[in-house]
């Protein structure tokens, strides 16, 4: 049996699509197990103290989930399950893997004793895909040496991972979120610019250079001038810059992620059938 999981989301405002992940329901070998997020949203993120208290309460009651596809009534309307997703077949401890690789990712060198309370770029970007119901297609931390074989130049030493990616039948979308309202936005732009320049060179240097597309997607918030600044800086580095506050650009981006993701799923299904 293939092990699967579904994220458990706290949804304080279901109409806006705002979500905070509490943990995950793992279904493996006929058993339900629970993986947990270590950091929960506070009153500053939720806007209300009572919502922060409710999030903590639901987090504490995750062990009451006994079915892989249903939440207990106590969770009420402010919690929901994400799409069912498969775990990599090489994973032997699903709970530990989810807590380390999905729910509680840390940057190298980040202090373990003093966690940052500022929203992370990766988490905010993933929330965009979750709201659009695309999380089944989007993966974290593209590793060039492992995932870029065949369409990246062979020398990828020193290249940093890309935050989000979608693998398709003929192309891979390499995506970096930008949050204009983050106090570290200037540093984020320098980091993403440097990363994209390296990847663009490796893509163009490869024998097959049409396999990867570098996309910067600007999350909502900030002033028009801030968003124009971001777009101007990254337009020469990325293949595509998407302003998600623009309805047409946002929908086009969502459609492309879905199309590429579905093509990747079909390719995997064909390969599984052949093998």
Instruction: For 116-125, write each residue's pLDDT tens digit.
Output: 334 578 888 9
Which tens digit of pLDDT belongs to each residue from 39-60? 888 877 777 788 888 889 999 9
Split at pLDDT 50, 70, 90, the class of 105 is: low
Q: CB of 195 within 8 A of CB of 146?
A: no
Would residue 180 count as lying in a domain?
yes
Same domain flag for 133 and 238: yes
Domain that holds residue 140: 121-274
Check whether residue 72 and residue 204 sit in a common domain.
no
3-state DSSP assignment of residue 85: strand
> pLDDT (tens digit, 9 = 90+) per residue, 66-85?
998 999 988 888 889 988 88
One domain, residues 94 and 135: no
User: Same structural domain for residues 166 and 85?
Assistant: no
* CB 257 within 8 Å of CB 129: yes
Same domain, 137 and 253: yes
Whether residues 142 and 195 fall in one domain: yes
| pLDDT value at 214 more than 60 | yes
For residues 91 and 136, state if they share a domain.
no
On whether both 10 and 132 belong to a single domain, the answer is no
Residues 130 and 217 grouped into a single domain: yes
Edge-to-edge order in the sheet of strand 240-243? 139-142, 162-167, 172-178, 212-218, 240-243
34 — pLDDT class (breaks 50, 70, 90): very high
pLDDT digits (tens, 9 = 90+) for 157-170: 667 889 999 998 88
Mean pLDDT, residues 143-169 taken together? 79
Q: Say what the pLDDT of residue 260 is.
A: 94
Q: In this predicted structure, what is the pLDDT of residue 14?
A: 60
Q: Is the pLDDT of residue 242 over 60?
A: yes
Q: Is residue 115 part of a domain?
A: no
CATH number, domain at 269? 3.40.1350
Is residue 113 situated within a structural domain? no
Asked whether residue 101 carries a pLDDT value surpassing 50, the answer given is yes
Q: Let me know if residue 111 belongs to a domain.
A: no
The number of distinct structural domains making up the chain is 2
**Domain membership flag for residue 112:** no
pLDDT value, residue 112: 39
Cα angle value 86/90/94 (rounded, 5°): 60
């Amino acid at each position: 049996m293939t092990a699967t999981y579904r994220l458990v989301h706290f949804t304080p405002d279901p109409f806006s699509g705002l979500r905070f992940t509490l943990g995950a329901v793992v279904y493996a070998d006929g058993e339900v197990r629970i993986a947990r997020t270590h950091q929960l949203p506070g009153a500053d993120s939720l806007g209300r103290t009572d919502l922060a208290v409710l999030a903590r309460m639901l987090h504490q009651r995750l062990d009451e989930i006994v079915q892989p596809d249903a939440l207990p009534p106590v969770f009420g309307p402010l919690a929901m399950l994400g799409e069912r997703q498969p775990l990599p077949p090489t994973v032997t401890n699903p709970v530990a893997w989810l807590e380390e690789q999905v729910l509680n990712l840390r940057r190298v060198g980040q202090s373990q004793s003093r966690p940052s309370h500022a929203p992370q770029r990766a988490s905010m970007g993933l929330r965009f895909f979750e709201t659009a119901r695309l999380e089944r297609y989007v993966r974290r931390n593209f590793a060039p040496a492992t995932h870029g074989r065949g369409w990246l130049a062979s020398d990828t030493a020193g290249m940093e991972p890309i935050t989000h990616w979608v693998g398709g039948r003929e192309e891979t979308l390499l995506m970096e979120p930008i949050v204009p309202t983050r106090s570290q936005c200037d540093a984020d732009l320098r980091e993403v610019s440097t990363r994209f320049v390296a990847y663009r060179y490796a893509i163009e240097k490869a024998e097959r250079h049409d396999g990867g597309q570098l996309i910067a997607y600007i999350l909502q918030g900030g002033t028009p001038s801030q968003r124009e600044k971001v777009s101007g800086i990254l337009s020469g580095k990325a293949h595509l810059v998407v302003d998600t506050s623009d309805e047409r650009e946002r929908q086009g981006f969502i459609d492309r992620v879905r199309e590429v993701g579905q093509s990747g799923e079909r390719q995997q299904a064909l390969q599984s059938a052949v093998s």
